[in-house]
Structure 1
């Protein structure tokens, strides 16, 4: 049986932005329970309890029992809306589920045994293609994580979904190919990219220095011509003054 979290909620009688703002002013978080061929229920959540669960891993892959005025509702979190500035939760969507509910969910990939990976010990780099894998399974059989074993992988090796042991009844939504989850990339790839970036930056600096030098030469030339012209005018004025005297 999968682990089950618990939250305490209260029913609310008004929906809409104004009602949601009022709930947040009271220190609670507005939420909704939907699905299961039943009418949606709008609720408000205990803020501290929600924050505790959000701080843990697996919030979207762990079932939750919501105690709503003494009645338990088995749900799975599907979405959390956050404030764009404070990053505080503003609203939560929960899907009502049962043990037989088939659900599509993104499960995080955890890479283990890095210290036993010869490719990484030789300077290779773990290039993660998919941090999560979307799977279909029963609601009570959602894995908290998919474990990818890096032991014995060499530089140039790849980890495909077929190399990850999926629990019974858990099937990837991508079923037409053995897709790549991660690779052990050669360190030269990283160095080459760094060298190319440095070379490009160097070219920009050289072009900038050439522009500055050319601008300086043009400025000096223009200044010299203006100085010569001014000097010629001063000499002409001096000669004219002498004749007048």
Structure 2
């Protein structure tokens, strides 16, 4: 096989052969960064997971929720295998990977083109190796339209360059870096933006001050807790 692919056009032929052999390892494209490619996985346990990782794969789990409430549990778990290289690229492309619904396409096998499952999912956990940075496991939840999902959304502060209080020499105390909402799958925002444009020294932004889609429900015992404060100076440690 290798001998017949040498010479003019050999590199392109090898790439084409690899693409056909393993459908998820195709040339980078827009869909490559927005559709997780996977195959079913039957074996579990540390040894099986280690074998998957040695082969450049990432063990993954797809959860289907039992109901619409935040604590109603999981109805079904589907074991999958995903490609580490593709997931690494997706993480680089999306700073809000864990709050952005993406497409999932499950093929019958590693060398199969038959699709056995497809739909929208939300990645909720990515475990990585602290020493190497390699992805160890991925957990996703089914995110079809109408599904209510508990999502930990990152808080992003905007308008710092024009904030009146900061221009006066004030200090922005960031109290919360994320907020938890119960969201319909079709209305999950990648982030929660806190606008500092009109804040002066002494002002604060409370959780319930932040405008979000009306279908989102803030999951907090005290919605009047501050997300940030604008202080006259940096507090003493």
TM surpasses 0.5: yes
Q: In structure 1, how many angstroms separate the alpha carbons of the residues matched to 2:38 and 2:201? A: 51
Tell me the C-alpha RMSD between the 2 structures: 1.9
Counterpart pick for 1:105 among 136, 146, 151: 151
Please tell me whether residue 85 in structure 1 is matched to residue 131 in structure 2. yes
Decide whether the 8 Å contact of 1:127 with 1:185 is kept in 2.
Answer: yes
1:18 is aligned to: 47
Q: Which stretches of structure 1, 4 residues or longer, exceed 3 Å deviation after superposition?
A: 36-39
2:89 is aligned to: 52
2:78 is aligned to: 41
Q: In structure 2, how many angstroms separate the alpha carbons of the residues matched to 1:181 and 1:174? A: 12
Give the TM-score normalised by structure 2: 0.74
Give the TM-score normalised by structure 1: 0.71
Decide whether the 8 Å contact of 1:32 with 1:43 is kept in 2.
Answer: yes
Q: Larger helix proportion, structure 1 or 2?
A: 1
Counterpart pick for 1:9 among 38, 55, 73: 38
Q: In structure 2, how many angstroms separate the alpha carbons of the residues matched to 1:30 and 1:165? A: 37
1:65 is aligned to: 103
Decide whether the 8 Å contact of 1:5 with 1:62 is kept in 2.
Answer: no
Going from structure 1 to structure 2, the CA distance change for 1:175 and 1:36 (only over 3 Å counts) comes to: closer
Decide whether the 8 Å contact of 2:208 with 2:223 is kept in 1.
Answer: no
Going from structure 1 to structure 2, the CA distance change for 1:36 and 1:156 (only over 3 Å counts) comes to: closer
Aligned residues: 188
Please tell me whether residue 153 in structure 1 is matched to residue 199 in structure 2. yes
Deviates more, 1:46-55 or 1:117-126: 46-55
| Secondary structure of the corresponding residue to residue 97 of structure 2 | coil
**1:162-192 CA deviation, whole Å, 9 max, x = no partner?**
33111120121125432211001111x44xx
Deviation at 1:87, TM superposition (A): 2.2
Decide whether the 8 Å contact of 1:36 with 1:97 is kept in 2.
Answer: no
Decide whether the 8 Å contact of 1:104 with 1:135 is kept in 2.
Answer: yes
Q: How does 1:114-133 map onto structure 2 within 5 Å?
A: 114-133=160-179
Q: How does 1:142-181 map onto structure 2 within 5 Å?
A: 142-174=188-220, 176-181=222-227
1:96 is aligned to: 142
Gaps of 5+ in 2: 1-32, 67-74, 108-114
| Secondary structure of the corresponding residue to residue 60 of structure 1 | helix
Gaps of 5+ in 1: 195-245
